[in-house]
Amino acid sequence: MNIYLLNAPNTYNYGSMMMAENFIYYFDKACNTRNEYYVETDDLKNTQARLRNATGMDNIHTVPMGSLYHNNNISRRAMIKGVLSSKGMLSDLGKKMDNLVCV
């Protein structure tokens, strides 16, 4: 399952780090399956390294902020179009996600 994590962009913030780390670690154990985690952040390499080190898992990927939407953001027109037709809002990466989690 592909899971997109929001609200954990700064792993140097103790709260953000612990929420992301605990969710990833315990969700994999609870599901008893291997999930792929995509964490939205500005600091791609450091965030990935810190989360992989803390959880001991290599199924954590980092993506730039706003990767869920086309052009890294969503315009008002695209949002209205997306709500009315469910098209136009999500990027290709966003369409591959099975779950969206705000930690």
pLDDT in tens, 55-95: 999 999 999 988 887 665 566 666 666 655 555 667 788 88
User: Could you tell me if 59 and 34 are in contact, meaning their C-beta atoms sit under 8 angstroms apart?
Assistant: yes
Alpha carbon distance 26, 57 (integer Å): 12
The model's pTM = 0.82
User: Could you tell me if 9 and 48 are in contact, meaning their C-beta atoms sit under 8 angstroms apart?
Assistant: no
Strands (E) across 1-103 are located at: 2-6, 36-40, 60-63, 99-102
Q: What is the pLDDT of residue 72?
A: 56
The residues near 42 (Cβ < 8 Å, ≥ 6 apart) are 9, 10, 64, 65
The residues near 46 (Cβ < 8 Å, ≥ 6 apart) are 11
Q: What is the pLDDT of residue 78?
A: 62
pLDDT in tens, 44-60: 999 999 999 999 999 99
pLDDT in tens, 5-27: 988 878 888 888 899 999 999 99
Q: What is the pLDDT of residue 91?
A: 78
Where helices occur in the chain by DSSP H, the ranges are: 14-31, 44-55, 76-85, 92-96
